[in-house]
Structure 1
Amino acid sequence: MPVPVPHQRTVVLPHQAGPVDDACAPDAQVAGAPGAGAATDRSAPAPEAAAGRNVPATEPLLGEEQVPAERGPVNQGLTLLLIGEDPNSHVPDMWDWAGRKVRLRTARNLTEAERLLTDDVHCILLDLSPAEPADRDPERTGTGDELGTLRKVLRLAPSHAVLVLTYETDAERAAEAVRVGAQDYLFRDELDGAVLSRAVRYAVERKRADLAQRQLTESRMLAQENARLERGLLPTPLLDGSDLRFAACYRPGRSRALLGGDFYDTVRTPDGTVHAMIGDVCGHGPDEAALGVELRIAWRALTFAGLSGDELLATLQKVLEHERSDDEIFATLCTVDISADGHHAGLSLAGHPAPLLARAGLPPQLLPYEFGGPALGLLPNARWPRRQVELGASWSLMMYTDGLIEGRIGKGNQRLGQEGMTELVGRRMAAGLQGEELLDAAVREVRDLNGGELTDDVAVLLLDRR
């Protein structure tokens, strides 16, 4: 059995209820029997416009600066889709905000409705009332097939506003329709142009607000999931049994991010050695942050496997080469392994700034950098010498990424640099600051000197022995 071809008729509709000129009658004609001919849509100037009269403006005009952009260009006017079994179902007359005819598409079933549901449809009117008033049954409970049809319409057009039409005697069913998901309901007994105009406008705006709120809620939930994920990827120091004190400060350069391309970690192996690492993947995006996490986890696994120095860094370079998305991606790294007695340490540098060491009673100083190797990922057969460093009985060792030293001083081009950072931290230490308080104060002063937030990721790690 062939599916009837849905027809589209253009309705000449005054915006407000009241007397209507005969010239306002619909002028669209459908050739042939219902459903047998092609849809016809002939537009003519509104009678008021043709006569040089203004459209009444007691009510805000339907569609005036209210039509969502995704429902088609405003200059094409409004389009309503009526879904109902009665092809002669009467809809009160309306005008759009520009005095043009409001286009009305009619569909007798969901198959026709799906074919007519294009992007320029602003609202769907679903007729839940019987074709003849005599068919109304006051005993109906509102849970029949009509609400099933409404659910199908909502699934078919999740982003469209939906109004339901019914009779006042079916008030319970109308209220249930709103609970199911319709924006509003209208009683056919009381329907006029002004009521329908307001209802359509409010329904469209309410649907737009609902969609915006839903998108906002989904975005917040996604942000919360990402935040939990990023927090889970941040390191937890494993220093059980060590007398060293640990503090860290981490500031991603990406807006609203918790994780950047900088990474650090600290673990204690069964022989009592404390291993610390800090690194920086070039770049500031999520890919760099993910690669930083991979390198940190690989470092921890290799450290527990007994690797250190050149052997460990050479293996990390292989990990980087396999995991990076571009051959130009590289990472700098600084590793320190502190002996169980805490008096000396081994230092390996891979293109990374040297740590800052402050011994008891002495100003902080930078450890030697001359014996370092290149950044990971630059040279295929590179070597990274391990240098022995005497720490003493009481000391503080600060490891950091270049985001801490590349901030500017004032509005000029001068950067803070390692010397400026050393002097800044020395002053804070002389003032008695320690641990996280020292790191927070140092990073805050660097940011103030820069005249605002630092654009690069910043990671700082501090180990103390007192």
Structure 2
Amino acid sequence: MRPPDRAARGAGTEPAAGEPADGVFGAEELRILLVEDDPGDALLVEDTLIDTGLKHDVTWVRSLADAEPHLAAGPGPDCVILDLHLGDVRGLPVLRRVLEWAPGAAVVVLTGLAEAQAGMAAVAAGAQDYLAKGQLEPDGLGRAIRYAVQRRQVQQAVAALQAQRMRAQENARLEHGLLPRPRVGNPRLRAVTRYLPGRAHSLLGGDFYDVVETADGHVHVVVGDVAGHGPASAALGVSLRVAWRSLVLAGMRGGRLVELLEELLVAEHGGAEMFVTLTTVTLPPGERVARVLRAGHHGFFLHAPGEVALVEPPGGLAVGMVPGLGDWREEEVRLPDGTSLVLFTDGLFEGQIDPEGRRLDLTGLVRIAREHCHHPPEDFVGAVLADVEAASADHGGLADDVAVVHVGWDGP
């Protein structure tokens, strides 16, 4: 809606004295929304805007109800010129409603000559500036709009930087919990661990791993994947990883250990649906076997010099999938001399590799692993990860987080 007998008008002729020219905000017009219920005051603001020299496009509305569609729909205005007295809604509630609908817009408040206190209160509540209607002139209005938009941009940049720092700090805390150092003293054990976050995840996900040696010389390994992404999944992954290590060090083994992890998961999330897939491995010292338990998790690799094989021993349900009905048992897998296990989460093979949406899948991952099977453990893991990332690079990169543990004994 426009003031009576006025057509929509854009940029003025010359910049105001002492002010930068139109190009201060680039070639595009400033989108200005004027919220003013008095047609005479609206006409005054529009006339003054023309004389500021700002390149602009102004839309006038009479009420908050008329303003809402302009504020709530993208991209929204760059600046809102707002009268604080609109019919039945007056004062700071008007401003709060505008900031709720358009948190990214700069706001310049219009006040009466005797309302300086109200203007300052509006700035404290989130507006970028205020002007008295009776003292409107081109220099002041143009300067107020320029600085309001610039201040809002700076505020948003500072907020984004602060959020980025907080995410980095949270990542560091989660990384300490999700990605521990292997607790192993036996020099014969070789363990290589890696973790890569998936694309567009500002926080680590719920993938976790751990490697720990108990007093009897047995080495225990877990790799797990919490359903979902974000802080809740990551926090649950930390809880389960810490609980797993504590239970192992306390002597708990096999299916009973997984049952206790499920009890913890259910207690943490109550009635919320949440499940975890995991694989645990126990390596007895001096034996050519691995005791493997799978809970809803995919298979793993056996890696020997010049050979890689995908192994999928019998397994049970994912932890928490149907609480109380899981039947988890350890299976023995032979480990000839020089053979290691390679455990990983599904992010390693779920990345998209062509425009049709085809994914690498386990078959493609086996092919990549076999191309590097002659490498020693550290180089093997690095080469496989590099090839998987390269295969999905043109289609957004890794779709999910990836945890990898390559573990085995040195010597006969």
Partner of 1:265: 210
State whether residues 111 and 130 of structure 2, in contact with CA within 8 Å, keep that contact through their aligned partners in structure 1.
Answer: yes
User: Do structure 1's residue 442 and structure 2's residue 387 form an aligned pair?
Assistant: no
Structure 1's 74 and 328: CA in aligned 2 closer, same or farther, altered over 3 A?
A: same
Structure 1 residue runs without a partner (length 5+): 1-42, 80-91, 108-113, 132-148, 166-190
User: Do structure 1's residue 283 and structure 2's residue 241 form an aligned pair?
Assistant: no
Cα deviation, residue 413, structure 1? 6.7
Cα deviation, residue 399, structure 1? 0.5
Partner of 1:159: 126
User: Do structure 1's residue 373 and structure 2's residue 333 form an aligned pair?
Assistant: no
Structure 1's 45 and 126: CA in aligned 2 closer, same or farther, altered over 3 A?
A: closer
State whether residues 231 and 258 of structure 1, in contact with CA within 8 Å, keep that contact through their aligned partners in structure 2.
Answer: no
**C-alpha deviations, 1:410-449, integer Å up to 9, x for none?**
456765443443332122022x3531x3223212323433
Structure 1's 252 and 224: CA in aligned 2 closer, same or farther, altered over 3 A?
A: closer
Cα deviation, residue 294, structure 1? 1.8
Structure 1's 201 and 411: CA in aligned 2 closer, same or farther, altered over 3 A?
A: closer
Partner of 1:298: 243
Name the CA distance, whole Å, in 1 between partners of 2:389 and 2:343: 18
- C-alpha RMSD over aligned residues: 4.3
User: Do structure 1's residue 255 and structure 2's residue 207 form an aligned pair?
Assistant: no
Partner of 1:74: 34
1:303-452 equivalent positions in 2, closer than 5 A: 303-324=248-269, 328-341=273-286, 343-359=288-304, 361=305, 363-370=307-314, 372-379=315-322, 380-407=324-351, 410-411=354-355, 415-430=359-374, 432-435=375-378, 437-450=379-392, 451-452=394-395
State whether residues 352 and 359 of structure 2, in contact with CA within 8 Å, keep that contact through their aligned partners in structure 1.
Answer: yes
Q: Which has the larger radius of gyration?
A: 1
How many aligned positions are there? 347
Structure 1's 325 and 283: CA in aligned 2 closer, same or farther, altered over 3 A?
A: farther
Structure 1's 55 and 411: CA in aligned 2 closer, same or farther, altered over 3 A?
A: closer
Partner of 2:108: 122
Name the CA distance, whole Å, in 1 between partners of 2:229 and 2:45: 58
Name the CA distance, whole Å, in 1 between partners of 2:203 and 2:83: 51
For 1:425, give the aligned amino acid. A
For 1:418, give the aligned amino acid. L
Cα deviation, residue 124, structure 1? 7.2
State whether residues 34 and 82 of structure 2, in contact with CA within 8 Å, keep that contact through their aligned partners in structure 1.
Answer: no
TM-score scaled to structure 2, two decimals? 0.69
Structure 1's 368 and 56: CA in aligned 2 closer, same or farther, altered over 3 A?
A: closer
Structure 1's 78 and 242: CA in aligned 2 closer, same or farther, altered over 3 A?
A: farther
For 1:161, give the aligned amino acid. Q
For 1:307, give the aligned amino acid. M
State whether residues 335 and 349 of structure 1, in contact with CA within 8 Å, keep that contact through their aligned partners in structure 2.
Answer: yes
**C-alpha deviations, 1:90-128, integer Å up to 9, x for none?**
xx9993336999x99899xxxxxx94784287147999x
Structure 1's 207 and 284: CA in aligned 2 closer, same or farther, altered over 3 A?
A: closer
**C-alpha deviations, 1:235-264, integer Å up to 9, x for none?**
212123443222222223351434112221
Structure 1's 355 and 429: CA in aligned 2 closer, same or farther, altered over 3 A?
A: same
Structure 1's 461 and 215: CA in aligned 2 closer, same or farther, altered over 3 A?
A: same
> SS of 1:353's equivalent?
coil
Name the CA distance, whole Å, in 2 between partners of 1:115 and 1:382: 61
For 2:108, give the aligned amino acid. H
Cα deviation, residue 465, structure 1? 2.8
State whether residues 355 and 400 of structure 1, in contact with CA within 8 Å, keep that contact through their aligned partners in structure 2.
Answer: yes
For 1:95, give the aligned amino acid. D
Name the CA distance, whole Å, in 1 between partners of 2:300 and 2:247: 22
Pairing partner for 1:96 from 48, 70, 88: 48
Cα deviation, residue 208, structure 1? 2.0
> SS of 1:122's equivalent?
strand
Partner of 1:462: 406
For 2:211, give the aligned amino acid. T
Partner of 2:159: 215
1:39-188 equivalent positions in 2, closer than 5 A: 57-59=14-16, 66=30, 73-74=33-34, 76=36, 95-97=47-49, 115=91, 118-119=94-95, 122-123=108-109, 153=120, 157-162=124-129
> SS of 1:95's equivalent?
helix
> SS of 2:47's equivalent?
coil
For 1:386, give the aligned amino acid. E
Structure 2 residue runs without a partner (length 5+): 23-27, 52-57, 61-80, 99-106
Name the CA distance, whole Å, in 1 between partners of 2:227 and 2:388: 21
TM-score scaled to structure 1, two decimals? 0.61
**C-alpha deviations, 1:42-96, integer Å up to 9, x for none?**
x9869xx79x9x97644379xx9546x7xxx3364999xxxxxxxxxxxx99933
Comparing 455-464 and 399-408, the one that deviates more:
399-408
Identity of aligned residues (%): 28
Comparing 247-256 and 392-401, the one that deviates more:
247-256
**C-alpha deviations, 1:218-239, integer Å up to 9, x for none?**
2233223222223222221212
Structure 1's 433 and 315: CA in aligned 2 closer, same or farther, altered over 3 A?
A: same
Name the CA distance, whole Å, in 1 between partners of 2:249 and 2:92: 66
> SS of 1:96's equivalent?
helix
Cα deviation, residue 195, structure 1? 3.4
> SS of 1:215's equivalent?
helix
Name the CA distance, whole Å, in 2 between partners of 1:118 and 1:378: 49
